[in-house]
Amino acid sequence: MSTESTTFITPDALLAHWQGHRRLTRRVIDAFPDDKLFAFSVGGMRPFGALAMEMVTMAVPMVRGAISGDWTTSTSRETRPKEEVLRLWDGSTKELDSLWPQIPPQRFRETLTAFGQYPGILHDLILYVIDNEVHHRGQGYVYLRALGIEPPPFYER
Amino acid sequence: MSTESTTFITPDALLAHWQGHRRLTRRVIDAFPDDKLFAFSVGGMRPFGALAMEMVTMAVPMVRGAISGDWTTSTSRETRPKEEVLRLWDGSTKELDSLWPQIPPQRFRETLTAFGQYPGILHDLILYVIDNEVHHRGQGYVYLRALGIEPPPFYER
């Protein structure tokens, strides 16, 4: 089959799509008052700071693991100042840009076991990380509204 | 370039990924009590029934438009019984399966203007529809928790 008949999206375009989501998620983190980021939630759920730190522990470690087979993730999800969350976020963003081209292209269709316990085709595992970010960010939108804060527009990336 | 070097995911695998999300979203719709689906929300946001109907007005119309250039979407987002929302949802699921293979493969990388007003590369437009579903479903999780209802697990598709 030709490339055209088997490609929904290229690796480069998928990274650009993901980084667009990451810019929006960064704005959502930044929209929280520092004293609410790890302290406020709705319905007994986790606060947005904990969700953002979960995203940090998934994004780079997933891509690094796919390249190297090293599935360690050392960043804790503990409470910390917003500025530190944003600093870690920006570090991950740069690291993703430099790691992504190192993924061997055929690997996206290979089955791996992420973090030693989640088997899946790499494209599904990566989409899971992105979807998890979008899912939890949507929850952050509700938290912001409940705090009386207007969230950033969903369509701006 | 070879197929391997330019493909993150194939059209078939992307549809399977989307339909997995749609099965989960259906469970979230079904988890709402009928009298809360269009009546309950948090922070002044739209109730989940309205969000689910927005998804219905985006999914099939986006794919149909990409195939035919016909961007009409006739389903209203009005309040209706949960059973009717689920019936419309299931109809869309079947229609997506039959429409998807009709998208000319090269079109995924072409620039279209969806619904006469949203320009973009088709792969981004389709990902936008899926992301919008994941985003709003995440909000539905908060609504369910605020109602004291355990949402379906995010990782089950």
Backbone angles phi, psi at A149, to 5 degrees: -110, 130
Choose among A4, A13, A142: nearest Cβ to B142: A142
Mutate to test the interface with B, among A1, A4, A5, A7 (most CBs of B within 10 A): A7
In Å, how far is B135's CA from the nearest CA of chain A? 5
Contacts of A14 in chain B (CB under 8 A): 8-9
On whether the CB atoms of residues B136 and B45 are closer than 8 A, the answer is no
Task: Write down the pLDDT at residue B4.
Answer: 52
The whole-angstrom separation of Cα A96 and Cα A12 is: 12
Query: Are B146 and A9 inside 8 Å of each other by CB?
Result: no
Q: What is the mean pLDDT of residues B142-155?
A: 97
Q: For residue A118, give the chain B residue with the closest CA.
A: B155
B72 against A156, higher pLDDT: A156
* pLDDT surpassing 70 at residue B3: no
Contacts of A105 in chain B (CB under 8 A): 4-7
Q: What is the mean pLDDT of residues B100-121?
A: 96
Note the ipTM here. 0.96
On whether the CB atoms of residues B123 and A9 are closer than 8 A, the answer is yes
Work out the end-to-end distance of chain A between its first and last CA atoms, rounded to an integer number of angstroms.
34
Task: Write down the pLDDT at residue A2.
Answer: 54
Query: Are B135 and A132 inside 8 Å of each other by CB?
Result: no
Contacts of A43 in chain B (CB under 8 A): 42, 142, 144-147
Choose among A1, A43, A124: nearest Cβ to B145: A43
Task: Write down the pLDDT at residue B41.
Answer: 96
The whole-angstrom separation of Cα B146 and Cα B43 is: 11
